[in-house]
Amino acid sequence: MSSIALPRERTRARSPYVLGGLAALLLAAALLGLGCGALRLGAGEVLGALGRWLAGRPAQGDDMVVLMLRLPRVLMAALVGAALATSGAAMQGLFRNPLVEPGLVGISAGAALGAIGMIVLGGGLLAALPALLGSFGVALAAFGGGLAATLLVYLIGRLRPGMATLLLAGVAVNAVVMAGVGLLTYLATEHQLRDLSFWTLGSLGGTDWVRLAAVAPPMLLPVLLLPRQARALNALLLGEHEAALLGFDPARLRRRLVALVALATGAAVAMCGVIGFVGLLVPHVLRLLWGPDHRLLLPASALAGGALVIAADAAARVAVAPAELPIGVLTALLGGPFFLWLLLRTRIGEAAA
């Protein structure tokens, strides 16, 4: 990075502008998300539908598509993106490693195991439930699996002090859980395998107001609460001892962060499958642009993550219309090369230092 003369008190002065700009970006993405889809609707129709809805007037024409299909989906995308990106930023800060994903503490793998276990082994249970409730059964199993895996990682990580143990516990639990996923994949039927691909590739398909309402609280709460840990996270970047010397409690901070991240990511993965790279990519780009200060990074990640997932989902909906691409394919397609670039860039940076 070139050294340029920076204006005085950059972060403080810039924060409102950065957050305002990102909020505008999120709004623009939301309008884009509402405006495009397999069904071609003019801007007038979309805005008209929203207007009639807000004014409480009866729906007409294709209003239902905008209000029942696109609007909950755009809101879900915003929430999922915000949850994943904020969680990613927090995890990267906690582990003092910009290459960490929220899945590192076992959440994604655990959720996938829960979902897949329910799909493959819970057939009888699911069949006993009404179809709509059955799909919630899978989400609930995913949520439970994510929290259980995270708890396991956390408990193992507590056996010895330090972030390294937590990190290694995450790697180990992930490996074991993925072996379980492999075993279940082996047991799965052809049809179940197709359902499983949903979990590994992610999709916002099937979002409706009920599902949105069900997962909004566990995603929104961490997005709103994580920024309150920003100062502690900043201090933690210096190291656990330094954070403790500055009056923070690293153990309590770690407990809180892991709980909030597990809640947010678990809910996101449970409802929409594994949407990769958002948690890695968004905080990283923002850090390159505006520095690592978590007081700006966490809320900015929420806004930018929401905008990114809305845009990716819109692309997933129109790319092969009337069919849909799994959104994870798009984010990985974007994220893979970026990750590589990041890796190379980091190496070069280390060599120069």
Distance (Å, whole) CA 313 – CA 244? 42
3 binds another protein (CB under 8 A): yes
Task: Find where tokens 């790319």 sit.
Answer: 319
Span 66-95, contacts to another protein by CB under 8 A = 68-70
Classify residue 292 by its DSSP letter: S
List the one residue out of 69, 89, 79, 78 whose CA is nearest residue 25.
78
Quick one: which segment of 48-56, 109-117, 316-324, 334-342 binds another protein (CB under 8 A)?
316-324
Work out the burial of residue 305: count CB atoms within 10 Å of its CB; fewer than 13 is exposed, 13-18 middle, 19 or more buried: buried
CA neighbor of 66 nearest in space, from 90, 86, 89, 40: 40
Q: How far is the CB of 232 from another protein (least distance, A)?
A: 8
Binding window for another protein (CB under 8 A); candidates: 18-26, 64-72, 160-168, 333-341: 64-72
Q: Please report, as residue ranges, which positions from 168 to 207 form the binding site for another protein (by CB under 8 A).
A: 186-191, 194-195, 198, 203, 205-207
Is 262 or 310 the residue whose CB approaches another protein more closely? 310
Q: Which of 21, 134, 137, 180 binds another protein (CB under 8 A)?
A: 134
Residue type, 15: S
Q: Is 151 among the residues that bind another protein (CB under 8 A)?
A: no
65 near another protein, rule: CB under 8 A: yes
SS (H, E, C) 136-200: HHHHHHHHHHHHHHHHHHHHHHCCCCCHHHHHHHHHHHHHHHHHHHHHHHHHCCHHHHHHHHHHH
Q: Report if residue 233 touches another protein, rule: CB under 8 A.
A: no
Q: Binding residue for another protein (CB under 8 A) from 1, 54, 127, 159?
A: 1
Identify the residue among 254, 256, 284, 287 touching another protein (CB under 8 A).
287
Stretch that binds another protein, among 262-270, 291-299, 302-310, 334-342 (CB under 8 A): 291-299
For residues 321 to 340, the per-residue mask of contacts with another protein, x marking binding by CB under 8 A and - elsewhere, is xxxx----------------
Of positions 32, 39, 151, 259, contacts another protein by CB under 8 A: 39
Residue 80: name the closest of 276, 225, 341 by CA. Answer: 276
| Distance set, CA 351 to CA 82, 87, 346 (Å) | 34, 29, 9
13, 38, 125, 251: which one contacts another protein (CB under 8 A)? 38
Encode burial over 195-209: b for 16+ CB neighbours within 10 A, e otherwise: ebebbbbbbbbebee
Binds another protein (CB under 8 A): choice among 21, 98, 137, 180: 98
Question: Considering only residues 24, 43, 64, 348, which one is a binding residue for another protein as defined by CB under 8 A?
Answer: 64
Q: What ranges in the chain are assigned the alpha helix state H?
A: 10-35, 43-54, 63-64, 71-94, 107-121, 123-128, 131-157, 163-187, 190-201, 209-225, 230-236, 240-245, 250-272, 278-290, 294-319, 327-352
Q: Binding of another protein at residue 159 (CB under 8 A)?
A: no
Residues of this chain that bind another protein (CB under 8 A): 1, 3, 5-6, 9-12, 37-40, 64-65, 68-70, 96-98, 131-132, 134-135, 186-191, 194-195, 198, 203, 205-208, 211, 231, 234-235, 237-239, 241-242, 244-249, 287, 291-293, 317, 320-324, 349, 353
